[in-house]
Structure formats: structure tokens, C-alpha cells
Amino acid sequence: MNLGFIITEGEYECEDKFICGTYDKSKVYPDLPKLIVGMALADEISDEETDILDRVLSDGSFWTFKKKEQRKYHMEDIEDFKQYCYDKLVDGFEYEFLDPLMTTTEEHKAKFEAIKNTGDLITYYNKDMAYINANGMIYGINIMFYEYLGMDRDTMLTKLKEISKVFLVEEDIIIEYKDYMERFENQERYIPYLYSVINYVI
């Protein structure tokens, strides 16, 4: 999955998940955030006036100095741009923790029934936590809370597997999404959402 486009005049080493190339090539990816490297190049191809203090051109478009022009700002801007692209990926992310100790049995059953009926569910389970992606809404479940109420863990996990189109466990996915997790402060709640976005499940 490509997260952003870095527009350059010459050779530029680009990390995984980002594309580097000329302005003409960037037109093939109209929806990707873009970063122009070099003030002269930004002046040439952008309709926006370049500001050396605020290097934002428009929503989703930025510019930075070449490394030889301003190494400090160049490195900072590249890192900021990458983080912007990662953040944009989870822009529609919403999260709700389901606490069976704070709701009535009827309310909790109704919530689970509503989740089941949202469509294809992507669930990620690790240790005591399960996260369910239901059309962009993530629900967090602490299995220990249900054990406290007398439910068997294996029974609970079996039910989650039955209602899920995809059921992920730690060893299946955590290494594959290591780069993303580092950007999101290792918050595993993002995993089923990322899985659905990257794999176009939903």
C-alpha cells in the first residue's frame, strides 16, 4: 500500500510504502498526499506561494528544502510528512471499549447483536484483549472481564471466531504490521482496521 508521494527532480531513496518520482509521475496518484523536495521545484509546480516558515501548500500537499539547502528542516519535514500519511490512513478510525461491568445484560446483548449485523467483521486477539472492526468502528473487549462474570474464555473466543470473517492472532499479524505499530505507539486496536484497509476487506 502506498501512503504518500515525494516529488523530486533527481534520484531519491524512498522507503517502503512511499513513492518517489517526478511531478508528472505524481499525477498518476492524485489521491496521495504529496511532498515536493526543493524550494525552486515547489515554486515551479505549485499554484500556492511558498513560505519558508510554513511549508504547507494546501490540504495534503507540502514542500521542503533539499538536504543541501537546509538539512535540518529537510529531515524534520520528511519525518513529519511520513507521520501525516500514516495518520491519514486511520483518519476514519473510531474506538469504543465494551465494558460488561458498566452496562446491563440487555444493553450488552443488544450491542453485540448490532455488531454482528454490521457485515464482515475483522477481529484481532492478543492475550486478554480482542478488537473487532465493524465497518470502521473498532470495539475493544477485555476477555478477563467476561471471565469475572463467569464466562469461559474458550467459549468466548469460539463465539468471536464464528461471527468474524477474519480472525487474527498475535503471531499472524504483529510482525507484518510492525512499521505501522511503531507509528501508532504500538496501539494494537488499530490492527483489524489496518487489515481491512490494506486488504480491502471492507
- Grid cell, residue 189, equals 486496536
C-alpha angle 144-138-15 in degrees, rounded to nearest 5 = 110
Q: What is the DSSP letter of 119?
A: S
What pTM did the predictor assign?
A: 0.82
d(CA 195, CA 174): 11
Q: Which amino acid is at 112?
A: F
Determine contact, residues 125/157, Cβ cutoff 8 Å: yes
Residues 141-188 have pLDDT tens digits of 999 999 999 999 999 999 999 999 999 988 767 777 878 888 888 889
d(CA 72, CA 69): 9
The answer on pLDDT for 116 being more than 80 is: yes
**Can you give the pLDDT at residue 82?**
94
**Can you give the pLDDT at residue 132?**
96
The answer on pLDDT for 117 being more than 50 is: yes
Domain ranges of the chain: 4-89, 94-198
d(CA 139, CA 31): 29
